[in-house]
Amino acid sequence: MKQTVLSGIRSTGNLHLGNYFGAIRNFVRMQHEYNCYFFVADLHSLTTHPHPDNLHGNVRKVISEYLACGIDPDVATLYVQSDVPEISELYLLMNMNAYVGELERTTTFKDKIRKQPENVNAGLLTYPVLMATDIIIHKANKVPVGKDQEQNLEMARKFARRFNRIYEVDYFPEPEAFSFTGELIKIPGLDGSGKMGKSEGNAINLVDDPKIIRKKVMRAVTDAGPTELNQAPTEPIQNLFSLMEVVSETDTLNFFKEKYAACEIRYGDLKNQLAEDIIKFTTPIRDRILTIHDDDAYLKKVTKQGAEKARESASRTLREVREIIGFRSF
Ligand code: TRP
């Protein structure tokens, strides 16, 4: 039997090149090897009190971008979290066995208190319970998570174990972190150091138009230029080479590396070439995003189909959990 892999997608912000080479490209491959569930975590996003129009707009954007990258809704189960009411019910049940003390100690909660002290709502406190519910409702075995979500996954394991212990059952599997060993490519930002990220403000989004991409690349940090033959590139320059590595032809990359080694490089030329190669890479994805984004009929069909598949699995779990807990019908 295929293992079940699940990933929740934050519904804020556009997908950027870092997301693409970091995770999404792997999701696209994985969907054929595993039983995959991908969903837009729109219930989680309520913790930040979005405006109703933005909430819907963000879900539309994220779904369009994932589809444009190659998530196949006929292969993977792609759904919107709030379309699956079973999640909310199981979340309520799971909350009864989650302790305020342990929730208050999670790093993500403590971060939020610092970042939004004016809105420390109960949903923030129980965020890990909802995330655990997302996972266990499909009895997922593997969850691809970044560093920042490891603690939340650890809590999901704890809640799954606790349920089994309290009710003396062997019902929920303990979800493990899925690691793409060796397949993760770190995409640097354009600001000289560190990685590409939304919060870093240095990202090239898949949906960016050519003008914006050129502008962002031309503004990338460089250095004063090599002073010795065969000098190792400084970090900002190595970052530009790393980007070229994923979007450009090998010959192009080698051409600029040789120019650098010979102290003949012109950063303007390097950036021009990099911008054009990024544009060449993102344009087909961008075109698909824009088409899908405005195709209401297609989005309706995809989300309906996703919700049906997700609810089939979720309602089975919920029925069994209700039975285990002791809710029985007369
Ligand atoms: N908390 C995750 C994030 O911020 C999103 C998420 C919600 C998630 N539910 C999940 C991730 C379940 C994995 C599994 O990125």
**How many angstroms does the Cα of residue 37 sit away from the middle of ligand 1?**
12
Q: Distance between CA 212 and CA 283 in Å, rounded?
A: 12
Residues 6+ positions from 221 with CB-CB distance below 8 Å: 190, 191, 192, 236
108 and 176 co-located in one domain: yes
Report the nearest-CA residue for atom 8 of ligand 1: 8
284 and 319 co-located in one domain: no
At residue 201 the predicted structure's pLDDT band, cuts being 50, 70 and 90, is confident
- On whether residue 193 sits in a domain, the answer given is no
**How many angstroms does the Cα of residue 256 sit away from the middle of ligand 1?**
40
Q: How many CA atoms lie within 13 A of 271 on its CB side?
A: 17
SS3 (DSSP) at 172: coil
- On whether residue 192 sits in a domain, the answer given is no
Ligand 1 atom closest to the Cα of residue 41 is 7
Report the nearest-CA residue for atom 4 of ligand 1: 10
- On whether residue 85 sits in a domain, the answer given is yes
Report the nearest-CA residue for atom 15 of ligand 1: 10
- On whether residue 241 sits in a domain, the answer given is yes
151 and 167 co-located in one domain: yes
96 and 219 co-located in one domain: no
**How many angstroms does the Cα of residue 143 sit away from the middle of ligand 1?**
9
Distances in whole angstroms, Cα of residue 20 to Cα of each of 177, 185, 225, 264, 307: 19, 10, 30, 33, 25
Locus of tokens 């690691």: 179
Locus of tokens 């807990």: 325
pLDDT at 183: 62
The boundaries of the domain holding residue 169 are 4-185+296-325
84 and 138 co-located in one domain: yes
119 and 252 co-located in one domain: no
Q: Average pLDDT, whole number, for the chain? A: 95
User: pLDDT tens digit string along 40-69?
Assistant: 999 999 999 999 999 999 999 999 999 999
301 and 285 co-located in one domain: no
- On whether residue 199 sits in a domain, the answer given is no
DSSP state of 21: I
> What CATH number should be reported for the domain holding residue 272?
1.10.240.10
Q: Is 210 left (phi over 0), alpha (psi -120 to 50) or beta?
A: alpha
Ligand 1 atom closest to the Cα of residue 134 is 12
> What CATH number should be reported for the domain holding residue 129?
3.40.50.620
Domain count, the chain: 2
| Bridge partners for 80 per DSSP | 40
178 and 31 co-located in one domain: yes
pLDDT at 184: 66
User: Which residues are catalytic, by number?
Assistant: 112, 195, 198
User: pLDDT tens digit string along 69-96?
Assistant: 999 999 999 999 999 999 999 999 999 9
Give which of 242, 216, 237 is closest to 225, Cα–Cα.
237
DSSP state of 232: P
What's this model's pTM, rounded to 2 decimal places? 0.94
- On whether residue 204 sits in a domain, the answer given is no
User: pLDDT tens digit string along 104-147?
Assistant: 999 999 999 999 999 999 999 999 999 999 999 999 999 998 88
77 and 113 co-located in one domain: yes
Q: Distance between CA 46 and CA 49 in Å, rounded?
A: 5
196 contacts 17 by C-beta, under 8 angstroms: yes
